[in-house]
Amino acid sequence: MQLSKPKTLVLGAGAWGTALALTLVRNGTSRVSLWGRDENVMAEISAQRVNRKYLPGIVLPDELEITTGENIAADVDVIVAATPFQTLRPVLKLILPQLSELRCIVCAGKGIEKDTFLRADQIVAELVPPDVEFAILSGPNFAVEVAEQRPAATTIATSSQQWGDELVRRFHSDAFRPYSSSDVIGVSIGGALKNVMAIAAGIADGLDLGANSRAALVTRGLAEITRFGLAQGGKLETFMGLSGLGDLILTCTDDKSRNRRFGLRLSAGLNAAQARQEIGLVEGVTTAAAVLEFSDQQHIDLPISREIANTVCGRTTPRQAVKNLLSRDPVAESAGLIAPHN
């Protein structure tokens, strides 16, 4: 008797969750279910086979199961959590009691939990038994391009070689190439802090500071991400890879990035509330505040993140933030990259 395929549950029916569910279905290595909170929205997606709000025009195959509430099959062995990062904990608390065969949780969101300052792996460790493996998926990926099957690459990091190989197998397709990594910390931090730098890039471009300024910002932003990541135990080479430099370049230079567009709106004179109302979810706003508070406790200097956090909360203006960064005392370029301070 032929064994049935394993089952993957994707949490979050936004653009990224839907795109990842499509990738898994197209690959055909597991049965796939897409879960969302809103019963009416999920019923519409199921009936029309289109996610009109987030991926209009992309037809969802019949093989993709649409579910909501507690209507979840117990035989799910892998969760892919693609919900907004700050909802990761409550969503998992809702879903986990329904699953009896869970073996691995993959976080596809990017951020640092406010108040606790925890990464995704630390949040998950508080919620599941030790035998449930954790992985994080992060890279230079815009959801719409992945859904349209345009070529893309990403990183899947986990401490388990077995699960790293299995997750690569489930996600790998002709248009989507995952690379494995064991650096969960580095991949998590690269994905989180690049959103903060994208806000800064949007501000710089909105103020028409020029290409030189953008290049300097991306480079120094990478140094800041690396400094913070190394202090937490990440590996230097991770920040030079897809989930570090690759994701940073993508979000700082293309207007598909909500964080970059948020920065553009701030530079145009909107306050944070007005910009968020126009754009929607901006993960870098919460991440900037959380990372800054945590870094102050750890005595790690993050000048760009500090200025972004101060700008978002109205303590400074975009132009003053630029002046503050340029007026810092000169240092050697490599100063502080490995040590906490620069």
Residue 81 backbone dihedrals phi, psi, to 5 degrees: -90, 110
Question: How many Å is the maximal CA-CA distance in the chain?
Answer: 71
Tally Cβ neighbours within 10 Å of residue 174. Answer: 9
Residue 235 is among the residues annotated as catalytic for this protein: no
Task: Classify residue 321 by its DSSP letter.
Answer: H
- What is the b/e burial string over 226-264, where b = at least 16 CB atoms within 10 angstroms of the residue's CB? bbbbbbeebbeebbebbbbbbbbebbbeeeebbbbbbbb
What DSSP string describes 42-67?
A: HHHHHHHSEETTTEEEEEPPTTSEEE
Return d(Cα 40, Cα 25) in angstroms, integer: 23
Alpha-helical runs (H) found in 207-282? 211-232, 236-239, 247-253, 258-267, 272-279
Q: Report angle CA 52, 276, 304 to the nearest 5 degrees.
A: 125
The radius of gyration of the chain's CA atoms, rounded to the nearest angstrom, is: 20
Residue 291's nearest CA partner among 125, 118, 120, 123 is 118
Q: Which amino acid is at 63?
A: E
Quickly list H helices, 97-241: 120-125, 143-147, 161-171, 184-206, 211-232, 236-239
Which residues partner with 67 through β-bridges?
35
> Which of these is catalytic: 7, 110, 194, 235?
194
**Burial of residue 281 (number of CB atoms within 10 Å: 0-12, 13-18, 19+):** middle
- Residues marked active site are found at 194
